[in-house]
Structure 1
Amino acid sequence: MKSGLGLSLLLVFVCVMSISMVSAEQSLMVFAGAASKPPTEEAVKAFEKKTGVKVDVVFGGSGYVLSQMILSKKGDIYFPGSSDYMEVAKKKGVVYPETEKYVVYLVPAINVQKGNPKNIKTLKDLTRPGLKVAIANPEGVCVGAYAVEIIEKNFSAEEKAKFKKNLINYTESCEKTATAISLKAADAVIGWRVFHYWDPERIETIPLKKSEIVRVGYIPIAISKFTKNRGLAQRFIDFLLSEEGKAIYRKYNYFMTPDEAVAWIGEKKPVGGEYVVPKEWIKK
């Protein structure tokens, strides 16, 4: 009897361990910048339905989720909001560079409340007294770094000082930058053109002048060196790049090629790259 019970317990233990191993093998963890959150959430659901693989996504500022991935030594995929933090990840040796792919392209813009109640028409309007302006934290969020780059290129020292007087907050991610407009916490943000399509009932986009735009952004993806299932991680990337995956991002009006972004801007711009944020913009 005792030996039979011992054998039964052993079999239960083996079964539980087997299920756990299978479960681990059939799941993925993605550390993602929030610049792609709405379509990525939809793409994850489609991938899970198609494959039966569970995908957990940690969204946030690209620099912050990169730090989380490194500290936890977990994660199968790094999916930041721009080239800037993918370059950091490659320098730190935490992704496989040969697996990097570009998913979509982004153009910075001014985002305001629907109907543009403050009548904001240009970048220089953001220096007007009394406006409430927000940008993402440039220390850890891609769109914040783009905002600072644009301000540094286009504003005089006096205009920059006026802008900073209107600056009410640093937001923690792209999602929270867009939400600042949706919830009317800010009159304007320097964000991404696609924010309008995240919440068209409450967000409106004011294009920057083509001379004001420094570069086109892109959202890259690569396999993390912490992955325990490189093949499955590659399968997820392949899905995002498939026609089915691309259709989801198109639905949210992301640019699928640099040429689409350039056509919208009206002038050819550098694509990607890396920008070092001046120390004066880094909060102590």
Structure 2
Amino acid sequence: MINARLIAVLTLLLLASTIYVLITNNLRTGELEELFILAPPVLQKPLDLIISEFTERYGVLVKTSYEPTGSLINKLRLSGRGDVLVTADHEFMQQAVEEGLVIGDSVRVLTYLIPAIIVPRNNPANITNLKDLTKPNLKIAIANPEVSPAGRYAITVLINTGIYEEVKNNIVVYAESISKLASLVALGAVDAAIGFHVMHYWYPNETEIIWLQPQEVPEVACQLIGIAKNTSNTELSKKFVDFVIESLKRDDVWKDIGYITSIEELRTYDLADKVPEICLGIVR
């Protein structure tokens, strides 16, 4: 029997060679089109797969910059370079639209993320709820709230539940991004992290998830995608956005790795009423 891992490797090699041939052929004919996508690390796993498939289908060279959303906004503001912007929450997208960095009527909702506590496997610090984070001598991590929505949500959770002052001395790391935050937990370098629920699904064998009570969740974060005002190719950018939106129907791209793609699914967590109004008003 052929090893399943070997099959996966061969499939990836075949996909890579196909993409290489398409791009090489287009380079030779001078027809190669390019897109520059600015996106947060929280969506890198599904977007990497989608971009590979988009490249294979259309022969487009897609360049990416995965950074915390605040850093992406600054990059777009200062350089003006970028065709499509993806944000980890609605506030940053709203800011980008108000500043004229993104075309307002191009914005679409992608996914929804729930604030949660993520702990290493077997939960060595025996954390069962938010109040447990006030125990002395714990090592807690959050993402940098200045550039990462995950960090901003973490601070809001602690303030709204009245335990920020008790917990802040236990916060030993302000991670540069949510991907680095998740890896800290997976490696057992901290006792807990406050981030988004999807972090657990990146490391299902190394972490566990402690769900917050619905009343402890200030808001559900919605991830948005939109076309940059200074895009060099509006038609191609729209084609990419449409391609991403169409992929939301596929469980293997999103739901199988923990991403929530509908309000209906949020209702199973009793959190449908925690979706920001701007996210409810955007049509896919």
The alignment's TM-score, normalised by the length of structure 2, stands at 0.83
* Alignment of structure 1 residues 56-205 onto 2, 5 Å: 56-155=63-162, 159-205=163-209
**Cα shift at 1:55:** 1.2
**Cα shift at 1:212:** 0.2
Secondary structure class of the residue paired with 2:82: coil
Structure 2 residue aligned with 1:217, among 211, 221, 227? 221
Provide, for residues 64-91 of structure 1, a one-character-per-residue CA deviation record: whole Å limited to 9, x for no partner: 1111122121010000111121011111
- Alignment length (residue pairs): 251
* Alignment of structure 1 residues 218-257 onto 2, 5 Å: 218-243=222-247, 246-247=250-251, 248-257=253-262
Identity of aligned residues (%): 31
Provide, for residues 131-152 of structure 1, a one-character-per-residue CA deviation record: whole Å limited to 9, x for no partner: 1001111111011111111111
Secondary structure class of the residue paired with 2:141: strand
CA contact (8 A) 1:103 1:220 kept: yes
Q: How far, CA to CA, are the matches of 1:21 and 1:131 in structure 2?
A: 58
Give the superposed CA RMSD. Answer: 1.8
CA contact (8 A) 1:84 1:273 kept: no
Provide, for residues 216-235 of structure 1, a one-character-per-residue CA deviation record: whole Å limited to 9, x for no partner: 11110000012110111111
Q: Which residue of 2 aligns with 1:271?
A: 275
CA contact (8 A) 1:84 1:272 kept: no
Higher Rg of the two aligned structures: 1
Structure 2 residue aligned with 1:22, among 16, 31, 34? 31
Q: How far, CA to CA, are the matches of 2:244 and 2:140 in structure 1?
A: 34
Q: How far, CA to CA, are the matches of 1:130 and 1:20 in structure 2?
A: 63
Q: Which residue of 2 aligns with 1:206?
A: 210
CA contact (8 A) 1:107 1:261 kept: no
CA contact (8 A) 1:37 1:175 kept: no
Change (3 A) 1:88 1:165: same
The alignment's TM-score, normalised by the length of structure 1, stands at 0.83
**Cα shift at 1:253:** 2.1
CA contact (8 A) 2:138 2:191 kept: yes
Aligned-partner residue type, residue 239 of structure 2: R
